[in-house]
Amino acid sequence: KSVVYWMRMGDLRVADNRALSLASLRAHKLGVPLLVLFILSPQDYIAHDRSKRRIDFTLRNLEKMQRSLAELHIPLDVWTHPLRRTLSSAVISYLKRMGATFLFANIEYEVDELRRDISICNLSRADGIQATFVHDKCVIEPGVLATKQGKVYTVYSPFRRSWEQELNANPHYWKKAAELQPNAKSIYESELYGPLFNTPVPSSLEGFELSEKEKENMANFFPAGEDAAVQVLQRFLTTKARASQLGAVSPLAPDAKENSKESRVTNYATDRSRVDKDTSSRLSPYLAAGVISVRECIRATMELKKGFNKAKVEVSKDSGVGVWVQEIAWRDFYVHVLAACPRVSMGRPFLEKYADVVWEDYQEEPERREKEAIKAQEGQAGNPGESVRRWKEGMTGYPIVDAGMRCINEMGWVHNRLRMIVAMFLTKDLMIDWRVGERYFMENLIDGDLAANNGGWQWSASTGTDAAPYFRIFNPYSQSEKVDPAGDFIRRFVPELASLKGKDIHKPPPHIADKLGYPRPIIQHEEARTRALRRFKNPGES
């Protein structure tokens, strides 16, 4: 007999993992071994546009986990299942084969995953296996917070106020899950369970391989493992050191002058929108993959300062820590929206009234893509396929947009403000359907997460939860001056503009851009803005 914990892509850690911890307690109580299962499901990854970088990060973390679990004599059994349709029955067969009477897992809130887990519940019941799915992803689980009318919050600010109140009324929200109990050493002698220790985690998955160079870059930017995640968090909270110092490759040249004792979080309230400095934590890949628990982030902020009330989570706007915790609340917010509104998992706009907004005609079917490529080769600029291609490559002629896109292409990560700038440029200036951008981000980001990515895209496209109406349209030039005043970020990612001084770096004069081989703007912002306002005012009309 045994107890199985089924680990999924969003909970790659041993510490403070609720389902794993419960599974361990149960196994200990029954005196049977705990087994950990991870299933690679390539069809799911294709269906959900999972990036190669995210898969690589998953495998790197699994490899670390396999070692830390082995220290507790717990096997991590990783196998690939090719057909997503039959995944539930494959899990049940596995449980039966392993003599499991209990299955534990953390809930995944996306529609496909919920359906799969419901089918697991039904199948397991028929076989006398008790399946338990628990909340772990958020600080406060979906379903707890409601408006006075008993509805889910769809606007962030009131959500955040209610989140703060609930959090501070119930310390259990940041309580750490119980430590794991080791398996008895005799597990190695078991004919059934012993061999589970002998299958190593594969270093790549067919169809999702990164080049050796890229693999190395990713390992430098975002080293795997729970220790690395804690280090990234602690560096952000307690030192001025750049997150990127953990890796050999820095997105910006190291700045030796930055030796102040203040930590990055101290300045977060004032600096967080700056992209020319290392202002944020860069914890998102770790949080998206669950390499660190979000509760640990909350606890760490509480440990931080003597002045803070240790029994209270700081969520105010007046301190860097408080503003940073508000970002964690944004993460919860989008998961709550996703859990309550399944349509956002299905490619529908959150605000149904914008379902008919007319986007430029661009579809990504393979045939279409081929046709667009041919047109582009023929130099027919201005067609939607060409503008999407130039947006993806960072060749729009808007330096801050291009720098942001090239940063994503190189690192698989970019600062939040740049995500907003490039997303708004695609949807409002180029009038390209947000789903095209959402998909490109998922395919390229190392931290790709449906709730946060969809939330961010729909917010930027004004089809989502933004409390401001559709006429919030960023001006890419003034944004550029605000977030990268001296142009250092642009110089790093758009090196052809490195020689430009002053305001020219934000808006290169056409004759100079021509000389430097940098494209002229793909579209005039003011004209594009007028078009976007017209189309949003009258959905269905172009």
Residues recognised as catalytic = 327, 330, 359, 416, 434, 457
Q: Which of 3, 78, 224, 420 binds ligand FAD (CB under 6 A)?
A: 420
In this structure, the dihedral spanned by the alpha carbons of residues 281, 9, 184 and 296, taken in order and rounded to 10 degrees, is 30
Nearer to ligand FAD, 145 or 420 (CB): 420
425 lies in the binding site for ligand FAD (CB under 6 A): no
Q: Which of 142, 223, 322, 456 binds ligand FAD (CB under 6 A)?
A: 456
What is the enclosing helix (H) or strand (E) of 482? helix 476-483
DSSP per residue, 358-392: ---S----HHHHHHHHHHHHTT-TTSHHHHHHHHH
Q: Which residues pair with 525 in a beta bridge?
A: none
Nearer to ligand FAD, 313 or 328 (CB): 328
CA distance 135 to 108: 9
DSSP per residue, 508-539: --HHHHHHHTPPPPSS-HHHHHHHHHHHHHST
Query: Contact region for ligand FAD (CB under 6 A) — 7-15, 95-103, 299-307, 411-419?
Result: 411-419
Please give the residues from 295 up to 334 whose contact with ligand FAD meets the rule CB under 6 A.
327-328, 330-331, 334
Q: Which of 60, 242, 415, 535 binds ligand FAD (CB under 6 A)?
A: 415
221 lies in the binding site for ligand FAD (CB under 6 A): no
Interface mask toward ligand FAD for 156-195; x: CB under 6 A: ----------------------------------------
Query: Contact region for ligand FAD (CB under 6 A) — 96-104, 116-124, 189-197, 447-455?
Result: 447-455
What is the enclosing helix (H) or strand (E) of 34? strand 34-40
Nearest to 524 by CA among 372, 382, 388, 423: 382
Interface mask toward ligand FAD for 274-293; x: CB under 6 A: ------xxxxx--xx-----
Interface mask toward ligand FAD for 79-118; x: CB under 6 A: ----------------------------------------
Q: Where would I find the H helices in 382-475?
A: 384-393, 399-411, 416-424, 434-444, 450-460
Return the number of other C-beta atoms located less than 10 Å from residue 151's C-beta: 9
Query: Contact region for ligand FAD (CB under 6 A) — 119-127, 456-464, 466-474, 513-521?
Result: 456-464
State the SS3 of 256-308.
Answer: CCCCCCCCCCCCHHHHCCCCCCCCCCCCHHHHHCCCCCHHHHHHHHHHHCCCC
Please give the residues from 330 up to 369 whose contact with ligand FAD meets the rule CB under 6 A.
330-331, 334
What is the enclosing helix (H) or strand (E) of 97? helix 87-97
Q: Which of 22, 196, 313, 423 binds ligand FAD (CB under 6 A)?
A: 423
448 lies in the binding site for ligand FAD (CB under 6 A): yes
CA distance 229 to 509: 43
**Least distance in angstroms from the C-beta of 124 to ligand FAD:** 31
Residue closest to ligand FAD (Cβ): 456
Query: Contact region for ligand FAD (CB under 6 A) — 50-58, 87-95, 103-111, 440-448?
Result: 440-448
Q: What is the DSSP letter of 465?
A: S
Footprint on this chain of ligand FAD (rule: CB under 6 A):
280-284, 287-288, 327-328, 330-331, 334, 415-416, 419-420, 423, 441, 445, 447-449, 452-453, 455-457, 460
